[in-house]
Structure 1
Amino acid sequence: MTAKRAFTHIETWVFDLDNTLYPHHVNLWQQVDQRIGEFIGAYLEVSPEEARVIQKDYYRRYGTSMRGMMTEHGVHADDYLAYVHQIDHSPLEPNPAMGAAIARLPGRKLILTNGSTDHAEAVLNRLGIGEHFEAVFDIIAADLEPKPAPQTYDKFLARHDVDPAKAAMFEDLARNLVVPHELGMTTILVVPDGSKEVVREDWELEGRDDPYVDHVTDNLTGFLQQLAKDLLVAPAKAGAHKHRPES
């Protein structure tokens, strides 16, 4: 069995946004999901049921429903994004414990999302953790090519001068960790904690045992808190060993 990658060498921490930085059971993305269906139904003049089928087909095949609508029907991204992100962010609650844990991680912190910067900023502001992130790389910065497209990760790494061999990626979709792992990143899959019902497709919850997933957590805040502690202990041990007097 291949050894799971560790964290002691990490200099850049990369986080997905939706269903990663907040629990799946908040179901905030369910609001976006509903508005995507409404947009598709109105644009294509089809029933809600047919729109739903098209939406999920495009999501799985193209990475986002938006990319499918652009490719298949010539939809303008600005119109799509403006509509689907008009949601109520109030279900999100401040998470100072997560913010403190992120702040303790050594190195840079970045967001890599298939959503828009406006949506990302609204989420980060509600969580109260925006100050800890250097930048947001959104779907516009990706030239409207969503994860898991390899070129999207390449653009992200180049834009922010990130060495993937010294970076970690947190994601809620296992398929979005395939390319990062191939590039040398340490990968962490964030899964539901099982305490409440979540609105997800079955395939979205798969992959926790796949070889490109180094670590799995159902409690990101706790995971980051423990990780920060471990990383503080590691340098101390290394320093003690380095300066040990010769006998």
Structure 2
Amino acid sequence: MPTSSRAAADFSHVDTWVFDLDNTLYPPGLDLWRQIDEKMRAYIADFLSLSLDEAFALQKGYYRKYGTSLRGLMIEHAMDPDDFLAHVHDIDLASLDPAPELGEALGALPGRKLVYTNGSRRHAEQILAKLGISGHFADVHDIVAAEFHPKPHETAYKGFLKRFDVDPLRAAMFEDLARNLEVPAELGMRTVLVVPPGLVVPPSDREAWEHEGQDADHIDVVTDDLTAFLNSLRAA
């Protein structure tokens, strides 16, 4: 699908650019999220002595209710998060290639660039290094820095804005999940939803509800090519 935007989607005032990590700075077709998803399922099954099917149902239920499966496990089962994060982010990055064109587009953006992820800092740093774009980002805000309050909850975003002294009226946020852009829009941020190229059905590691909301009023721009969209901002 081509990039689509609302008439009022002006980015000329933006001086802080906030990017989600997984399935946003790299395309979901690389199957990295499937690895994470399967590791979560196996960890939960072992931790709670469940079958894989039971663990999958619990994992997705907590994810939808709490924002992350981890948050649900911490609240419902008093799980220590450190081992969980280390385990689920121990994945094979062989399919992830450097992205010099994305790096060039990021470098051309005026102002500060930040990564805001529900994952761990170590995971983010490994992804950014493999893509070859680490140097374009001032910092990473991970789930530990967020005190385990995940997107899409308002508390998480307000903590992020306070930590980095971000004026939401001068910021833009890029995400692959529409629900994670609702609060940023309410706070005054420009919102960009990054979707897979030619998406007809959700990737197998995602449920249909995760892709709902692409036409919602809180989405300023929908694009299936992040690099091309960033280049269009430079051209404008």
Structures share fold, TM-score greater than 0.5: yes
Report deviation, 1:70.
0.6
Tell me which residue corresponds to 1:165: 169
- Cα offset, 1:33, TM superposition: 0.4
SS at match of 1:88: coil
Q: How many residues align?
A: 229
* Alignment-derived partner of residue 223 in structure 1: 229
In the other structure, the counterpart of 1:180 is 184
Q: Among residues 25, 29, 34, which one is paired with 2:33 in the alignment?
A: 29
**What root-mean-square deviation, in Å, do the aligned CA atoms of Structure 1 and Structure 2 show?**
1.3
SS in 2 for 1:211: coil
Matches within 5 A, 1:127-166: 127-166=131-170
Within 5 Å, which residues of 2 pair with 1:189-200? 189-194=193-198, 198-199=203-204, 200=206
Per-residue displacement from partner, 1:75-113 (whole Å, max 9, x unpaired)? 101011011111111111100000000000111000010
Per the alignment, residue 212 of structure 1 pairs with 218
1:226 offset after TM fit, Å? 1.2
SS of the residue 1:61 aligns to: helix
> Which amino acid is the alignment partner of residue 206 of structure 1?
E
SS of 1:189's equivalent? strand
CA pair 229-3 structure 1, distance change in 2 beyond 3 A: closer
Higher Rg: 1
Q: Return the alpha-carbon distance in structure 2 between the equivalents of residues 49 and 153 of structure 1.
A: 33
- Aligned AA for 2:74? M
Is it true that 1:91 corresponds to 2:64 in the alignment?
A: no
Q: 1:50 aligns to what?
A: 54
Contact 1:63/1:147 (<8 A) preserved: yes
Aligned to 1:122: 126
2:22 pairs with 1:9: no
1:75-90 equivalences under 5 Å are: 75-90=79-94
Question: How far 1:4 sits from its partner (Å)?
Answer: 3.3
The CA distance in 1 between the partners of 2:11 and 2:214, in whole Å, is: 19
SS of residue paired to 1:21: coil
- Offset of residue 195 of structure 1: 6.9
Aligned residues of 1:90 and 1:126 also touching (Cα < 8 A): no
Q: What code does the residue aligned with 2:218 have?
A: Y
Partner amino acid, structure 1, of 2:229: F
Q: Which residue number corresponds to residue 3 of structure 2?
A: none
**Matched residue, 1:237:** none
Q: Is the 8 A contact 1:110 1:133 kept in 2?
A: yes
Give a deviation string over 1:95-143, Cα, whole Å, max 9, x none: 0000000000111000010000000000001110010000000000000
Indicate yes or no: 2:72 matched with 1:68. Answer: yes
**Given that residues 27 and 198 in structure 1 are in contact (C-alpha distance below 8 angstroms), is that contact kept between their aligned partners in structure 2?**
no
Question: Deviation at 1:72?
Answer: 0.6
Deviations 1:17-45 (A, max 9, x none): 00000011112111000000000000110
Tell me the percent identity. Answer: 55
1:202 aligns with 2:169: no
Which portions of structure 1, spanning 4 or more consecutive aligned residues, are displaced by more than 4 angstroms?
A: none
3-state SS, counterpart of residue 131 of structure 1: helix
The answer to whether residue 107 in structure 2 is matched with residue 103 in structure 1 is yes
Higher relative contact order (CA 8 A, sep 6+): 2
